[in-house]
Structure 1
């Protein structure tokens, strides 16, 4: 286009989104120059929204501002909080009684162990990651005070909704004392088993008789404690969904049976002595020493029978 003689302004056609647009020119072609310059300015990406938009341009000079338009282009992907582009996997982290768990770390990994996305649940328990394509993945969730959880999820072409149940990790702590005087029992063996009898944890008491067992599944467990010179003790303890249950245990000192076996008025060594309880069960068996002495310890209180063979025992070699 050209300007007619005597004209102070002229017009040119500039491309726009929907065809051509007439832009009034001020200052002998300033708008055309601004449009050309704007086409070379790099675009800024808005990662949160998943779109691109050009930077705004102002026309310098006293003749007035130039004309610039913002073009919004929808990205052909799905952006998910905490993950990259792909198929959304969303859900909530839930604790006991389906209470939302905030601050839980949720990680999506491939079956080969590669991390693909990570998210932290909000106060309402909501999280979001993204699978890069259809397939099977492993979703891992962990939170302080809860047992970590892992699950295999199958992703197709549609968004996946999956709620993660986070159960609390309970524990046991307590002190073991002797029933005669209440003194702490050090180095007592502490064993925790589940309802099936499988051992979940073992430990020992310290010099103060205290012990701590962590990372236990909520529910009833059997706590067994044994110590030399004391009778073993076992009782059922309920482990809560969160926090540590505390117990106090008392071990009864074991009773002792001592004696001497004599034959013909002299101590009889190497004689086999058997201890039988009131129900007829053999509790223990031992051999006498050279002085004919024997001893049984760590016994429950009650009535016992001590027996020995009628024949003369063999001599030790």
Structure 2
């Protein structure tokens, strides 16, 4: 039996071992911003983050007007010049999930600065060179900024009040399409009337402006996931993605049946399967595949591939059709700038439709919004089968496709964040953005094959035929239909807060706070109520305001001293703790919490009984906290009526077991793993004073 705070280390197993990595699944709350801060920065946050997202998207299409001229400008071959685009694609694919994970761990605002800094540095390099290798390096650095969009979405979730979050996230999610559509005519205008280096000077200047604005208007997110960065996982994912995207993007140059292309596809499969197996075993994975495998997350990411495919098809096909000479019989003979302006309505529609799509998601659920987006986008491409004989007709096609993309893009962050813990939102949104990028890369490869193989000659030069364009539109329609079918299997809309509250038994409703505060239920991902889960409310100053245990129906109620922002922490043995920024007004706010199970691995099993020091009777409702060697809370528990508790599946390492009492009692444990240990604790009960 352990008494008090021992001066020695209690040891289980044969020998003491060095601390092993312990899953750091609890999100560390920083002080929540006060009401005045919210009032000052709420509008600025949305505007600045949307601006940075658009700047990053503009970077992607920056060199599109230069594609035909790149070999001459860089004094290289056409095949080598294509690396200017491929390098950005590969760097963006790697950076998106990595930056998201780093943001969850070290602060989203801090990593946002890093991402924008990479864009500034890459633009400066590209603006100062006319050689291939420095240009490829600069473009790779620019690709590292792709993490801005998922980071921005996650910051919005952490910082904005609920009533503004939907439209703000919709705009941020759509910024990828908005920037691509609006950036093309602007880049074409600069390329036609100025030195091509000015394009990169402009992108660097815009990124620098975004960096300064973010420093003034974007606060640091209060939600963190402490732990160790999974370097092996990052290397494995990077290697797999590079193999996959390199094969997709360069397959047409090397030959789809060549040994190089097929070898890269095979290597991608092998590496990604090995990476997945490793991520399932590591304590602190780069990507939580168990969360990613949830139906809502998995299907949303698959839909992201199809919608990304559909978005890029418009940017690839319509400008080519618009710029083909009229002598072909179907080309519209427009300049590079005019072609870009004909595609721009898609981006304008995305900007104005983002709030509408957010309202649709709020009223009907994000599943409906995603399905509606797939249908509208398919209609837009179907119109392209006929309405492409005059430039004004392409404006209609572009606008309809843009409307569909806006609806779909607005829905995906809501679906993702409705299924993952707040401490993992940046990484989860980063993975979704990556899926969209894979879709755009696939569109480039597939439609590139169609446009280069279905040709007709004009003056001895092979040009894509009208059948090639129609085939491309039909393939895009097929991608939208695939996205629609995938979305159909997503879980339906969760009940609105009022409906959920109606399901709570009368006893739970009677327990709701009379004034400011929070109430709701804590459940598993399968909807099972969690009894005796711990709820802690933390003030903006970091002080504990209140604690509660859930009832048998999973219900809880916590009173707040005044309206404002707080951090609500939920813990339950065997589940990943969750911390989320919440706001209450003068009336109580209903807030349900879903806790994901922790991965149970073979390891230490600690159990025992908490008793009163005076007479040895079991103490019920005693709270125990298990802290690892880094000071991170890894598990919590509350004793039952018999005073018993149990922690299972703990990796080897050093821990401190803290039992709340008068005063608290701490017991140090150094465990070898794979063992069971019985640790009793004696507390001085208030009645014993």
- TM-score between both structures, scaled by the size of structure 1: 0.29
Q: Which has the higher contact order (CA 8 A, sep 6+)?
A: 2
Higher strand share: 1
Higher helix share: 2
- TM-score between both structures, scaled by the size of structure 2: 0.14
Higher radius of gyration, 1 or 2: 1
